[in-house]
């Protein structure tokens, strides 16, 4: 949610930003907010004037009573009562107008950074740089589900019986490798100075609307029937929500934390062959990182955060690239975002394994996350980034470490988490 001062002082900037995101249907909202805000301030002037009158009249009552002028005092009391009713009606009007403003402001997108490439959707995202050389071996790499089944590590049929499409059982050494990636990611982030956390896996609706836009919420979140609770789609939700309505001291900044959680999302499988696999599932596990910092430091943190994900995947012997998200692919709360994509030697292309986002003060403004310092009280900036999410990270690992005999070479970084095991053999 942007600062309403932007609409008061520079409507055209806000409209131009909407056009850059190809959301022209939202342009009328800017003028509507401008007009509603003007009415709110006009009503406030009336309320302030009436309150001043009420205070003045109240001061006269004591003097009239002291002089024995009870009738005149009674008339003034009646006048005060009418003024109070008028104030109450105006404040109710003001409250309704403010709600109308907030409803519209929640839909107007955040001002994107000048460096964001302009484009309609994810097909126009821009490759920035590659890390590691993508290799296609001189032998065939099977589909990842077939590899995992051959290793005795995947059972989607049983998951279909217990839970339906979009769920899975991971078994044996494959399940252990999955958890080794998460454990390594946890220790990797701790070694880089991040505080480890395990957050709540359910959050209230006011936290949900504080951390994401309505379209994202509808597409992603599972609601707990009969309760004001949602299953998290990523631990960023509850980690940022931890600081809701808090005034953070300057010496506590920056806050940088890494969190483990299962994640739950409505999205189903892709069409055709990919439905058998683990690209799109309803449940997965993730190591996440979040930062809350001073506004002037957020871009510096953004650069640090995505590079940590690159470093982690390179430690798994996985080539990756950074892909800059264009304006039309940015969610409404984001100022700037990039995807980290891993190389798939089977598909001979890259696929997304993580996303890093700078949300400016959008989440902080919605959730009331502030700092009180020498510059007064102001909203902080929030950022989030995927360290590793499985099973997508697992897919990248097994494809890039697949051997001709069907075994999986375990990267040296993960061997201590696998009891010293160097490879997983075909069952």
Q: Does 227 reside within a domain?
A: yes
Whether residue 298 is found in the same domain as residue 356: yes
Q: Does 115 reside within a domain?
A: no
Whether residue 86 is found in the same domain as residue 158: no
Which pLDDT score is estimated for 215?
75
Whether residue 128 is found in the same domain as residue 155: yes
Whether residue 253 is found in the same domain as residue 289: yes
Report mean pLDDT in 10-residue bins for the chain, 427 residues: 93 97 97 96 94 84 73 81 91 94 94 97 96 95 95 94 93 97 98 98 95 81 94 96 96 97 78 67 96 97 98 97 97 97 97 97 97 89 97 96 96 97 93
Token pair for 130: 């590659």
| Residue after which a domain boundary falls, among 105, 134, 164 | 105
Q: Decide if 88 contacts 121 (C-beta within 8 A).
A: no
Angle, to 10 degrees, between the axis of helix 172-191 and the axis of helix 298-315? 140
Q: How far apart, in whole angstroms, are the C-alpha atoms of residue 165 and residue 152?
A: 20
Q: How far apart, in whole angstroms, are the C-alpha atoms of residue 299 and residue 360?
A: 9
Whether residue 227 is found in the same domain as residue 253: yes
Whether residue 46 is found in the same domain as residue 154: no
Q: Decide if 352 contacts 306 (C-beta within 8 A).
A: no
Here the CATH number for the domain that contains residue 13 is 1.10.287.40
Whether residue 70 is found in the same domain as residue 127: no
Whether residue 66 is found in the same domain as residue 195: no
Whether residue 135 is found in the same domain as residue 269: yes
Which pLDDT score is estimated for 273?
43
Whether residue 170 is found in the same domain as residue 42: no
Which residue shows structure tokens 């519209």?
104
Q: Does 110 reside within a domain?
A: no
Which pLDDT score is estimated for 232?
96
Task: Tell me which residue of 146, 186, 388, 401 sits closest to 284, measured CA to CA.
Answer: 388
The distance of Cα 333 from the centroid of its chain, to the nearest Å, equals: 8
Q: How far apart, in whole angstroms, are the C-alpha atoms of residue 384 and residue 371?
A: 19
Here the CATH number for the domain that contains residue 143 is 3.30.930.10
Neighbouring residues of 166: CB distance < 8 A, sequence distance ≥ 6? 267, 268, 269, 280, 281, 282, 283
DSSP 417: G
Q: Does 116 reside within a domain?
A: no
Q: Decide if 130 contacts 321 (C-beta within 8 A).
A: yes
Reduced to 3 states (helix: H, G, I; strand: E, B; else coil), residue 271 is coil
Q: Does 111 reside within a domain?
A: no
Q: Does 113 reside within a domain?
A: no
Which pLDDT score is estimated for 275?
63
In whole angstroms, how far apart are CA 231 and each of 71, 195, 210, 214, 222? Answer: 64, 23, 15, 15, 5
In whole angstroms, how far apart are CA 406 and each of 9, 176, 302, 409? Answer: 64, 18, 39, 10
Q: How far apart, in whole angstroms, are the C-alpha atoms of residue 280 and residue 17?
A: 32
Q: How far apart, in whole angstroms, are the C-alpha atoms of residue 316 and residue 369?
A: 36
| Residue after which a domain boundary falls, among 76, 105, 134 | 105
Number of domains in the chain: 2
Q: Does 114 reside within a domain?
A: no
Q: Decide if 2 contacts 110 (C-beta within 8 A).
A: yes
Angle, to 10 degrees, between the axis of helix 70-105 and the axis of helix 27-66? 160
Q: Does 18 reside within a domain?
A: yes
Whether residue 192 is found in the same domain as residue 94: no
In whole angstroms, how far apart are CA 30 and each of 13, 17, 93, 104, 327? Answer: 10, 11, 21, 8, 19
Q: How far apart, in whole angstroms, are the C-alpha atoms of residue 39 and residue 403?
A: 69
Whether residue 97 is found in the same domain as residue 143: no
| Residue after which a domain boundary falls, among 52, 79, 105 | 105
Whether pTM exceeds 0.75: yes
Identify the domain containing residue 194 by its residue range. Answer: 122-424
């Amino acid at each position: 949610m942007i600062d309403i001062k932007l609409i008061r002082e520079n409507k055209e900037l806000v409209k131009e930003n909407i056009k850059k995101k190809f959301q022209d249907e939202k342009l009328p909202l800017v003028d509507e907010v401008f007009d509603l805000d003007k009415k709110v301030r006009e009503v406030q002037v009336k309320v302030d004037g009436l309150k001043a009158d009420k205070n003045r009249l109240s001061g006269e009552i004591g003097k009239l009573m002291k002089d024995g002028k009870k009738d005149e005092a009674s008339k003034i009391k009646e006048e005060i009562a009418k003024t109070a009713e008028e104030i109450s009606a105006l404040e109710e009007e003001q409250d309704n107008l403010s709600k109308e403003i907030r409803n519209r402001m929640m839909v107007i997108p955040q001002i994107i950074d000048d460096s964001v490439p302009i484009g309609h959707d994810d097909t126009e995202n821009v490759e920035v740089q590659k890390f590691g050389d993508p290799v296609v071996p001189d032998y065939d790499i099977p589909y990842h589900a077939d590899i995992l089944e051959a290793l005795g590590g995947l059972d989607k049929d049983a998951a279909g019986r217990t839970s339906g499409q979009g769920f899975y059982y991971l078994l044996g050494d494959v399940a252990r490798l999955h958890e080794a990636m998460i454990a390594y990611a946890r220790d990797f982030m701790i070694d880089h100075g991040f505080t480890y956390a395990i957050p709540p896996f359910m959050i209230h609706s006011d936290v949900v609307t504080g951390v994401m836009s309505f379209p994202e919420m509808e597409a992603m979140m599972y609601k707990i029937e009969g309760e004001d609770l949602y299953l998290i789609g990523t631990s960023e939700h509850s980690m940022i929500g931890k600081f809701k309505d808090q005034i953070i001291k300057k010496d506590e900044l920056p806050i940088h934390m890494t969190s483990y959680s299962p994640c739950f999302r409505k999205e189903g499988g892709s069409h055709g062959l990919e439905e058998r696999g683990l690209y799109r599932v309803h449940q997965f596990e993730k190591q996440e990182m979040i930062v809350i910092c001073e506004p002037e430091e957020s871009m510096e943190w953004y650069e640090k955060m995505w590079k940590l994900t690159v470093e982690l995947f390179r430690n798994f012997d996985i080539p990756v690239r950074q892909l800059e998200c264009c304006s039309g692919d940015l969610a409404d709360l984001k100022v700037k975002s990039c995807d980290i994509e891993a190389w798939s030697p089977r598909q001979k292309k890259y696929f997304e394994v993580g996303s890093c986002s700078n949300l400016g003060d959008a989440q902080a403004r919605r959730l009331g996350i502030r700092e009180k310092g020498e510059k007064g009280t102001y909203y902080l900036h929030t950022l989030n980034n995927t360290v590793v999410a499985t099973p997508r990270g697992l897919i990248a690992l097994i494809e890039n470490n697949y051997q001709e005999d069907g075994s999986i070479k375990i990267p040296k970084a993960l061997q201590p988490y696998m009891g010293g095991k160097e490879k997983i053999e075909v069952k």
